[in-house]
Amino acid sequence: MVNWSYPPENLTLTPSVVDLWIMSLQLASKEVEQRWQILNNEEQIKAKKFNFEKHKRRFIVARSTLKMILGQYLKIPPQKIKFDYSSRGKPRLSDQLGNNQLQFNTSHSEELAIYGVTLDRLIGVDIEYIRPMKDAKQLAKRFFCDQEYQQINNLTSPQLEKAFFQLWTGKEAYFKATGEGISGGLDQVQICLQNNPKLIALPPNQSKLNWFFSSFIPSPGYQGAIVVAEDDCQLNYWRLLR
């Protein structure tokens, strides 16, 4: 399991460094109210559309945390962080903030969120709460590579779910990095779980030599993955100072 530390007072990034952040989405009501002030009008409108209070809270905390993290790198208040979006909905820092090299990606599941930040290269992160899945093998057979299905076919719970989500988060992180989303074809990315999980096959237009991949346990009961363009990568694991 990852050991998360508090970051230095003055955050800096170099081209070979990737910072991973973790945040619990379970905050007290008073803290959530404070976080609400970080959201812009559009984000507040989106938050109000959630039917369940826990989903609203998770959105508020996850989005405000992203702004707080990025604000530390840019040395500006989180309220000033603005985003633009790709045609497939992947967020990036707004052009209004200038020609910035910061690249980021985020994911949350249940009560946990992770964030990846790096300089001037594609990045994707994914996290999943590990839960019982009676149809894990059927889903793997339908959507994964045959070799991956064979890796989990003889497993039983809880090893089955752990392996399934290792594969799932790895694929999700890759397609989030490229910006394609899983419509790019889950069976186009192959992951080997033996020893240290690794990418062993990618879509024809990509080279596996140009991607860094790490599968990790961010917290008990969760599975995470990160994919970054270029294989020279030093990971830092930070938790947010509230």
Burial state string for 58-86 with b = 16 or more CB within 10 A and e = fewer than 16: bbbbbbbbbbbbbbbbbeeebeebebeee
Q: List where CATH 3.90.470.20 sits in the chain.
A: 17-125, 127-229
Q: How far is CA 164 from CA 21, 124, 219, in A?
A: 24, 19, 17
Contact 179, 172 (CB under 8 A): no
The model carries a pTM of 0.95
- Classified as helix, coil or strand, 122 is coil
Per-residue pLDDT of the chain (242 residues; tens, 9 = 90+): 999 999 998 888 998 999 999 999 999 999 999 999 999 999 999 999 999 999 999 999 999 999 999 999 999 999 999 999 888 888 899 988 887 799 999 999 999 999 999 999 999 999 999 999 999 999 999 999 999 999 999 999 999 999 999 999 999 999 999 988 877 789 999 999 988 899 999 988 777 668 999 999 999 999 999 999 988 899 999 998 75
Contact 184, 177 (CB under 8 A): no
The pLDDT tens digits of the residues spanning 20-47 come to 999 999 999 999 999 999 999 999 999 9
Q: Which residues pair with residue 117 across a beta bridge?
A: 19, 104
pLDDT of residue 242: 59
Cβ neighbors of 229 (< 8 A, separation 6 or more) are 121, 122, 123, 177, 210, 211, 212
Contact 190, 181 (CB under 8 A): no
Q: What is the CATH number of domain 127-229?
A: 3.90.470.20
Q: Which is nearest to 66 in space by CA: 28, 111, 21, 29?
A: 21
Domain 17-125 class in CATH: alpha beta
